[in-house]
A = this chain, B = another copy of it.
Amino acid sequence: MGRWAPDTPGRLAKAALDLYSERGYEQTTVAEIAGRAGLTERTYFRHYADKREVLFAGSAALQEVFVAAVAGAPAGTGPLRAVAAGVDAAAGMFTDRRDFARKRHEVITANADLLERELIKLATLSAALSAALRERGVPDPAAAVAAETGVAVFKVGFERWVAPEEIRGLPELVYDTLETLTGMAAEGAEGARA
Contacts and interface: CB of A to CB of B under 8 A. Distances in A.
A53 interface: no
A85 B179 contact: no
B141 A148 contact: no
A194 B73 contact: yes
Count this chain's copies in the assembly: 2
Interface stretch (A7-15, A21-29, A38-46, A115-123): A115-123
Interface in A128-152: 140-142, 144-146, 148-149, 151-152
Contacts of A177: 141, 145
A194 B77 contact: yes
A74 interface: yes
Interface residues of A, number: 54
B81 A188 contact: yes
Contact of A119 (B120, B180, B181): B120
A16 to B, nearest CB: 22
Q: Which of A160, A193, A194 has the most CB of B within 10 A?
A: A194
Contacts of A111: none
Interface of A: 73-74, 77-82, 84-85, 87-88, 112, 115-117, 119-120, 123, 140-142, 144-146, 148-149, 151-153, 155-157, 159-160, 175-189, 191-194
Given A146-B184, A149-B149, 12 more contacts: A79-B184, A79-B188, A81-B192, A81-B194, A88-B192, A115-B120, A140-B160, A141-B177, A142-B184, A145-B152, A182-B188, A185-B185
